Amino acid sequence: MSWPEDPIGEDELVGQLSLEAFEYLSSKKLTEEAENPEQRVIDPSRAAELARQVCEKVMGESVESMKGGTMGGVQLFDTRKVTNVVKAAAEEAWSSNDNQVSAADAPGRRYNIDIFTSRGRRHTMEDRHLAIEDLNALLGIKASWPAVNDMPPQSWFAVMDGHGGVEAAKFAQAQLHKVIAEQPTFKDDPVKALHDGFLACDKMFLKKSERDALTCGATAVTVLVRGRKLYVAWLGDSQVAMCRNGEMVTLMNPHKPEREDEKQRIADNEGVVVWYGAWRVNGVLSVSRAIGDRKLKQWVIGKPDIAEFDITDDCEYLIAGCDGLWDVMNTETVRLCL
């Protein structure tokens, strides 16, 4: 039998189904007649809830049709089959009269979100992003807007910058928020859940990398909004900044090989940081932490840094981006452009 391209492991399946259903449903238009453009697209909470239902339906009814063979006794799934099954199930859910939401009833977006991507001069786009306004709805966490029980509203925003291939960025896009939310400490200690979830996701991708002979990696910067709290977690040099009361505030210190603490950590593990057009780990990679990079894992670790902030009334907006933004613009230039 022919081997599926970019096979999906059993432990990846739910995350991939959920992502594809969510992206497909989020693109759906309600009506072209609404005066307010925000009312022309499906409400984000509704899209998330429908995506969760689609994922559950597919897992309950269509697993066999997505299988693509086994390797070493591990069941794998065919990416194309997964996409086709998800689209069919999502379209069926959307077409149901019960699931059509009129523009007049849609509460609209809770955040103003703008997204821009460009592959620049590269042949392929290796970056990924994800914006989930209602994480509770997508993951089936019982909560509402505003919160009426013990779990406040939650949102998830992430930028992944891939290198050496797109697979690590794609994997993190689909799996990271899910793996973090599955940590037993997620409810009461989100900082520990983020820490452990990043490490678990890195471990999952390393396993996939060994299986599929991948050597790629990805930086990641993520923002978990929980009620009036902001949790920023990151690996590598993708960054997020906040505008507060008209001034840009740096929320993090990116993981670059030239940082003295990172350079020392790498040296302590028998590695070296050298200049080769940029400061690089063992002369190869210009970031010192990432998901993946299995051949450099001894030095390019998957342990994130995490920062916690209160959301106050003077917080205006966040901007997250990869090094394609921050290597050419500082935070003040970004503010002036906005």
Instruction: Please report the DSSP string for 164-219 in residue order.
Output: SSSHHHHHHHHHHHHHHHTSTTTTT-HHHHHHHHHHHHHHHHHHHHHHHT---EEE
121-149, pLDDT tens digit by residue?
767 777 899 999 999 999 998 654 454 45
Q: State how beta strands 247-250 and 127-132 pair.
A: unpaired
Question: Same domain for 103 and 140?
Answer: no
Q: Which of 58, 75, 107 is the last residue of a domain?
A: 107
Question: Same domain for 98 and 118?
Answer: no
CA triplet 194, 198, 200: central angle to 5 degrees? 115
Question: Same domain for 289 and 152?
Answer: yes
DSSP state of 3: P
Contact 292, 218 (CB under 8 A): yes
**pTM, full prediction:** 0.90
Question: Same domain for 115 and 94?
Answer: no
Return the pLDDT at 72. Answer: 79
Name every residue whose Cβ is closer than 8 Å to that of residue 79 and which is 6 or more positions away in sequence.
4, 5, 6, 7, 8, 68
Q: Which of 83, 107, 131 is the last residue of a domain?
A: 107
Question: Same domain for 126 and 16?
Answer: no
Chain centroid, CA 157 distance in Å? 7
- The tally of domains found in the chain comes to 2
> Comparing C-alpha atoms, which of 172, 199, 166 is closest to residue 19?
172
Rounded distance, CA 202 to CA 172, Å? 8
Question: Same domain for 117 and 183?
Answer: yes
Domain that holds residue 159: 110-338
pLDDT band at 95 (very low <50, low <70, confident <90, very high): confident
Amino acid (1-letter code) at residue 45: S
Question: Same domain for 46 and 158?
Answer: no
Contact 16, 7 (CB under 8 A): no
Q: Which of 78, 107, 136 is the last residue of a domain?
A: 107
Name every residue whose Cβ is closer than 8 Å to that of residue 5 and which is 6 or more positions away in sequence.
79, 80
Return the pLDDT at 330. Answer: 82
Return the pLDDT at 225. Answer: 96
CA distances from 107 to 27, 45, 255 (A): 17, 9, 39
Question: Same domain for 99 and 6?
Answer: yes
Return the pLDDT at 100. Answer: 53
Question: Same domain for 16 and 159?
Answer: no
